[in-house]
Structure 1
């Protein structure tokens, strides 16, 4: 993606179902769980580089012995820092007592992080706050084992203000309105409530306090706690948690917006944000990795029992399509094919744009996440070439010369890698007065391939703000001297903010929104902006459940092609010699390529929750007020 946007976070969890001695004997290491957890984290490093953290819980530790261990890092390489700290605990023990490292009970009792439950997290900070204290997992501590709560997740909640008020009504005094605080304290409150209920129940029956603790461990109903805690949540989420006595859970939002997968056998349970990472970690086939169902929680009880039950009534399933276009790694077999299909679906429109003149058209892409979609585009173009060749051969009726046949059969589309990102220059750039000039040089290009009469087709997987195109890419390409450049986006026009985990909260930053506003003004419809503004203000006064996306009205007077034409006009640098055209994926093409991931609210404005509509309206209000504030 030429425009950088922030990933959602990533989660990883491991639950060992056998004694530690089992893994030492079978796999030759006491670090089996740590290795699997950190491998899952590293394989998902694309989901967040702002920080990382891990927490371990040991089962059945005697009173007075620590049983919860956590480490977090916001260093330059946070995953490695977290792993090194965990590994160091084992290395130190091995150095002092090498003969004891094959004794699972000794390792568990003497080595930090040698637990049966491990939870890891990769952080991308959508609110800009950085530092170790902002890294998951978060810990709510208590002297009672069954009240200790560890939580990490990939989520954004749209109704933090409402949740804050609920906590205040419960008598709490939250330290801020961050969604991580809301989640931890809502879950913690109902965890405490469940503990209190069971304590009172068995106290009336005359059990001792220690006996009651054992009863609570056996009977604590995690599903019931999650139902109570999350019924007011509005947003996209996969949340993982551990309770001090040994229950593990992973919870997914009712619309299935954020992804979550799991695997389990008689040895281990693994949970992760992406499917192929679990396949890699355990070398298991794709069909053995299951999806956590929307609105459900996967619970691994302290006993090792694995269940998945409904927590919130599932809504229409609308998984985030950006996972398929860009965020998730393309090693998933379905995602790989879907990205190729996104490219293939653009073939006819691209060919119409270049008048089917393949002799004078060069195809390329902006590295490197667009490569798979580009392969699909090129394969589709090659199929058209094959059809054309076949038609000419049939039409000739056998009278064509051998030379002409050779010419037809040997023809291939002109495919070149023309742009390369200079990663070293990116790290060299600083926030000084010359920064903009340096940013314009981040991409290098290959000279001497493009001819003056050529049209250059460049595929990008999405055009969000258009900043890099405007300040860098188009200027560099213009030096090649072609007559025309066509920028092709494998994603549709991004018109609305995301509020479920992706850092796209300010509508004014989107080039499609900017283009629509300019078209409104060009066509003398300025009153439309004020009408939408007033409608958004009115919407703020309604209960959230009644929220409607008022910003859709902005785009209704214009076709997608009209907006694309205006985008090309806005992004064309002053003095550029080559003609610029921009082609976007259609909504229909997106859904055909990714049939099972129809979460398209950033393109269509059709949010799966009322909070999404409210965020879109607030974002427009901020635009009209010239405020740079976030909309949630």
Structure 2
């Protein structure tokens, strides 16, 4: 419920006679974060560009995590979407070559290894090939030097990455919505383990690893924009399916469905379509307030929620309502909303959540809190309901979630619900506690 920290987004553009910097700006804007003012982009010239956006985290502000990563002689740049639970192989390699620098985050370590190979006389393409086996985790990467743009996706396809065409040039983006924003046409989703190389010679595909699809289920639940397409699935339709499945799993006697904007709106449409219960947009989003999940501390988050989501007492008074949202993480935001609905005159407040309880931490880029901060890691559904003060609480089942997405279960990573991690956590295994409520 807006307690998740946003994944980052990446963009890469190649094209002679194209305003690549401006196109990258608008593509990043579609991925929901304004990095530069448009006027600043006019001065950036060239035929290749890459870009990256990321919200602040509890570890520091945006500048502490700024990307793209640029090597010391400014000849190579890299942007990374995802997270590496283990960097042991990268550290070991750099240490053995006496090339290890202090206080480097995962993205910088990847760039440092690639840069090491470049300095040994290898091309960017060959350097990426040599580095790929050392990277353990979830990653979609875009990289560039003065004449080549490269995109790489991990063998699990954990994070999305799409290829598009614009004029005689090419676009790489985390989501297909960014392609549409700048007038590019969708070509394909870059496959798990695939590398795309674009330069003056044209475009080519190299398979660096055998595909082992394990797509992050939270792209469908929360992260992706509704107008994006992932694995041939329109996110809007998938979320409507969540609502339809919820309606079959939980039949409530209420007067109205109230979605928490914006992710839950398609879910509410699906629930209403099956149940026949009308939707009331009784929670209005203040578009001038930043998202709650970018706030680095809980106190700031509470104030942001109060400003961001405004209830309509005239609509709520005396009604039994079912509030639909995508997830519950800590529970504090949801608790405040339930209180707000009752204070606004609602007679009953039922909660419908379009994902299962989040009981385990994520290590692949979702950036959930420590496990002990996840309310479902130490409370069962009834205990959570009491904490929230809701009339009832219902989560979409895991089977219902998978059925609604329409992909094979083996091709989806559900680690935050199940504790089953497709990519070895290595030295971070001890951070996972499996003694959680069973329901």
Q: Aligning the two structures, in what range does the TM-score lie when normalised by the shorter sequence? A: 0.7 to 0.9
C-alpha change, 1:13 and 1:161, in structure 2 (3 Å) is same
Kindly provide the CA deviation profile for residues 542-601 of structure 1, in whole angstroms up to 9, marking residues without a partner as x.
xxxxxxxxxxxxxxxxxxxxx2222112222xxxxxx62110011111111112362211
Contact residue 3 and residue 466 of structure 1 kept, 8 A? no
Q: Tell me whether 1:376 sits opposite 2:270 in the alignment.
A: yes
Q: How many residues align?
A: 425
Kindly provide the CA deviation profile for residues 245-297 of structure 1, in whole angstroms up to 9, marking residues without a partner as x.
x121001011000110012377101111111221332253xxx4211110111
- Correspondence for 1:586: 397
Q: Tell me whether 1:237 sits opposite 2:139 in the alignment.
A: yes
C-alpha change, 1:295 and 1:439, in structure 2 (3 Å) is closer
- Correspondence for 1:456: 321
Contact residue 252 and residue 293 of structure 1 kept, 8 A? yes
Kindly provide the CA deviation profile for residues 508-566 of structure 1, in whole angstroms up to 9, marking residues without a partner as x.
11111120xxxxxxxxxxxxxxxxxxxxxxxxxxxxxxxxxxxxxxxxxxxxxxx2222
User: Runs of 5+ in structure 2 lacking a partner?
Assistant: none
Contact residue 484 and residue 580 of structure 1 kept, 8 A? yes
Partner of 1:610, secondary structure, is coil
Partner of 2:83, secondary structure, is strand
Q: Distance in 2 between matches of 1:432 and 1:40?
A: 29
Kindly state the Cα deviation for residue 438 of structure 1 after the two structures are TM-superposed.
Answer: 5.0
Contact residue 269 and residue 279 of structure 2 kept, 8 A? no
Residues 513-524 of structure 1: pairs in structure 2 closer than 5 A: 513-515=377-379
Q: Distance in 2 between matches of 1:269 and 1:567?
A: 48
Normalised by the length of structure 2, the TM-score is 0.88
Kindly provide the CA deviation profile for residues 132-191 of structure 1, in whole angstroms up to 9, marking residues without a partner as x.
464111211449xxxx32111112111124422331112223122411221111111222
Residues 117-516 of structure 1: pairs in structure 2 closer than 5 A: 117-126=48-57, 128-130=59-61, 132=63, 134-142=65-73, 148-195=75-122, 220=123, 222=125, 224-244=126-146, 246-264=147-165, 267-282=168-183, 284=185, 288-301=186-199, 303-315=200-212, 317-332=213-228, 334-351=234-251, 354=252, 357=253, 360-382=254-276, 413-422=277-286, 438=303, 441-442=306-307, 443-450=309-316, 452=318, 454-470=319-335, 472-515=336-379
C-alpha change, 1:469 and 1:232, in structure 2 (3 Å) is same
Kindly state the Cα deviation for residue 194 of structure 1 after the two structures are TM-superposed.
Answer: 4.2
Q: Distance in 2 between matches of 1:271 and 1:372?
A: 27
C-alpha change, 1:141 and 1:226, in structure 2 (3 Å) is same
C-alpha change, 1:567 and 1:173, in structure 2 (3 Å) is same
Q: 2:24 aligns with which of 33, 37, 46?
A: 37
Which has the larger helix fraction? 1
C-alpha change, 1:481 and 1:614, in structure 2 (3 Å) is farther
Q: Distance in 1 between matches of 2:21 and 2:396?
A: 42
Q: Distance in 2 between matches of 1:169 and 1:438?
A: 49
Q: Distance in 2 between matches of 1:265 and 1:137?
A: 23
**CA-based RMSD:** 3.0
Contact residue 361 and residue 368 of structure 2 kept, 8 A? yes
Contact residue 450 and residue 482 of structure 1 kept, 8 A? yes
Kindly state the Cα deviation for residue 485 of structure 1 after the two structures are TM-superposed.
Answer: 1.8
C-alpha change, 1:281 and 1:422, in structure 2 (3 Å) is closer
C-alpha change, 1:158 and 1:362, in structure 2 (3 Å) is same
C-alpha change, 1:178 and 1:435, in structure 2 (3 Å) is closer
User: Runs of 5+ in structure 1 lacking a partner?
Assistant: 24-31, 50-76, 90-112, 196-219, 383-412, 516-562, 573-578, 624-632
C-alpha change, 1:171 and 1:431, in structure 2 (3 Å) is closer
Contact residue 497 and residue 616 of structure 1 kept, 8 A? no
Kindly state the Cα deviation for residue 329 of structure 1 after the two structures are TM-superposed.
Answer: 1.0
Q: Distance in 2 between matches of 1:137 and 1:184?
A: 10
Q: Distance in 2 between matches of 1:125 and 1:461?
A: 22
Partner of 2:120, secondary structure, is helix
Q: Distance in 1 between matches of 2:278 and 2:369?
A: 39
Q: Distance in 2 between matches of 1:329 and 1:236?
A: 20
Q: Distance in 1 between matches of 2:227 and 2:28?
A: 15
Which has the larger strand fraction? 2
Partner of 1:345, secondary structure, is helix
Q: Distance in 2 between matches of 1:507 and 1:172?
A: 34
Q: Tell me whether 1:566 sits opposite 2:383 in the alignment.
A: yes
Kindly provide the CA deviation profile for residues 295-324 of structure 1, in whole angstroms up to 9, marking residues without a partner as x.
1111113x2321111113322x11112111
- Structure exhibiting the larger radius of gyration computed from Cα positions: 1
- Correspondence for 1:617: 430
